[in-house]
């Protein structure tokens, strides 16, 4: 299938608008559930689907926190919030993120990831080895006195697949794989006041269907069919099943557990900085061009 860059750019425009809405509306004291559902509804209201559930990862959490159906958590004062989202048009996905800091205490950390992203983008062109981009991100981190997260990074984006084809490190990992003209990528520097390594935490609300399997309960069969119809192989949130199927939270969780046991789902647990360091992130999706790049989000 020929790549439709216009469809990609339409999704990118909506993603950028959603991030702007996040900047304008998110404040400490708001419920995380309300924030996530507002941004998701905004994207759908613009004629797009979601590349993945809106991520609202706070402080030492780096990625993959999306609220539960009954989540009563509120955004704390003086927190560092990563807003990671993406709009989708058909098979064309985008991915972008900003960090909102509600305290001057971590302004250098936030500036580090933002500056690293812009500096990395300036290097993008066909033929550029990915480790050179990573080296620049690492240099910016060092300048600001923070550490890049070494086991997270940017990625290629292909039709139907959000993480594909190439890994773009946040430090010089020695990988000289060259970027290719026409390739769609996301660059996402993660910075931390900690040691620079994430591990899986306990919060798990995001899944992706990766295969079929034998299911015993009607609830699980209904959930599987609902995922096929509405989300295909794209990531979804537990609360989406609760809202869409009307099963109730307990039965939705039970259906997911049965699908997990059947090997049908890939889980995306929250990722937490191992030493408890604060984390910031900025991300944009790009199209690699011969001598530069086109920013999509």
pLDDT of residue 61: 98
Q: What mean pLDDT is reported for the chain?
A: 97
Would the pLDDT of 204 be above 90? yes
> Above pLDDT 90, what percent of the chain?
97
> Choosing from 163, 197, 222, 249, which is the catalytic residue?
163
> Choosing from 40, 68, 172, 283, which is the catalytic residue?
283
pLDDT of residue 246: 87
> Choosing from 71, 115, 155, 282, which is the catalytic residue?
155
Q: Where are the domains of the chain?
A: 5-201+271-295, 206-267
> Choosing from 84, 114, 136, 273, which is the catalytic residue?
84
Strands 184-187 and 284-288: antiparallel
pTM: 0.96
Q: Of 1-5, 46-50, 159-163, 261-265, which range is least confident?
A: 1-5
For domain 206-267, give the CATH number. 1.10.10.10
Work out the pLDDT band at 142, boundaries 50, 70, 90. very high
C-alpha 289/C-alpha 73 separation (Å) is: 43
For domain 5-201+271-295, give the CATH number. 3.90.230.10
pLDDT of residue 289: 98
> Choosing from 95, 219, 258, 273, which is the catalytic residue?
95
Work out the pLDDT band at 6, boundaries 50, 70, 90. very high
Work out the pLDDT band at 2, boundaries 50, 70, 90. confident
Q: 271: which strand partners?
A: 63, 200
- pLDDT per residue over 214-243, tens digit each? 999 999 999 999 999 999 999 999 999 999
Catalytic site includes residue 282? no
Catalytic site includes residue 249? no
- pLDDT per residue over 74-115, tens digit each? 999 999 999 999 999 999 999 999 999 998 999 999 999 999
Catalytic site includes residue 228? no
Would the pLDDT of 247 be above 90? no
Task: Please tell me if the domain spanning 5-201+271-295 has the same topology as the one spanning 206-267.
Answer: no
- Check if the beta carbon of residue 169 is closer than 8 Å to that of residue 130: yes
pLDDT of residue 202: 95
pLDDT of residue 39: 98
| Cα dihedral 282, 288, 290, 294 sign | negative
Would the pLDDT of 288 be above 90? yes
Q: 184: which strand partners?
A: 287
> Choosing from 49, 188, 258, 273, which is the catalytic residue?
188
Task: Give the residue among 170, 80, 78 at the shortest CA–CA distance from 132.
Answer: 170
pLDDT of residue 143: 97
Instruction: Look up residue 239 and give its two tokens.
Output: 């609360």
| Cα dihedral 6, 284, 152, 79 sign | negative
Task: Give the residue among 210, 227, 206, 204 at the shortest CA–CA distance from 262.
Answer: 210
pLDDT of residue 1: 64
pLDDT of residue 165: 85
Catalytic site includes residue 155? yes
């Amino acid at each position: 299938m020929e790549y439709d860059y216009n469809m990609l750019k339409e999704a990118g425009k909506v993603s950028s608008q959603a991030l702007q809405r996040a900047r304008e509306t998110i404040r400490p004291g708001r419920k995380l559930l309300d924030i996530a559902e507002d941004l998701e509804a905004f994207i759908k209201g613009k004629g797009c689907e979601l590349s993945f559930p809106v991520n609202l990862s706070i402080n030492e959490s780096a990625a993959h926190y999306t609220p539960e159906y009954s989540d009563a958590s509120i955004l704390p004062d003086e927190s560092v919030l990563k807003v990671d989202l993406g709009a989708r048009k058909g098979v064309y996905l985008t991915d972008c993120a900003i960090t909102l800091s509600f305290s001057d205490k971590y302004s250098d950390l936030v500036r580090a990831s933002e500056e690293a992203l812009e500096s990395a983008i300036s290097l993008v062109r066909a033929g550029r080895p990915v480790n050179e981009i990573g080296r620049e991100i690492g240099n910016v981190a060092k300048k600001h006195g923070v550490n890049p997260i070494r086991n997270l990074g940017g990625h290629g984006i292909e039709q139907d697949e959000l993480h594909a084809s190439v890994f773009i490190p946040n430090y010089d990992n020695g990988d000289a794989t060259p970027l290719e003209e026409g390739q769609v990528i996301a660059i996402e520097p993660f910075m931390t006041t900690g040691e620079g390594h994430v591990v899986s935490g306990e919060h798990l609300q995001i899944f992706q269907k990766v295969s079929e399997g034998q299911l015993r309960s009607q609830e699980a069969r209904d959930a599987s069919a609902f995922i096929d119809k509405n989300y295909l192989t794209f990531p979804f949130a537990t609360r989406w099943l609760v809202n869409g199927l009307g099963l109730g939270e307990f039965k939705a969780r039970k259906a997911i557990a049965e699908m997990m046991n059947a090997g049908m789902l890939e889980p995306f647990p929250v990722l937490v900085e191992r030493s408890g360091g604060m984390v910031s992130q900025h991300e944009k999706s790009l199209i690699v061009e011969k001598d530069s790049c086109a920013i999509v989000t």
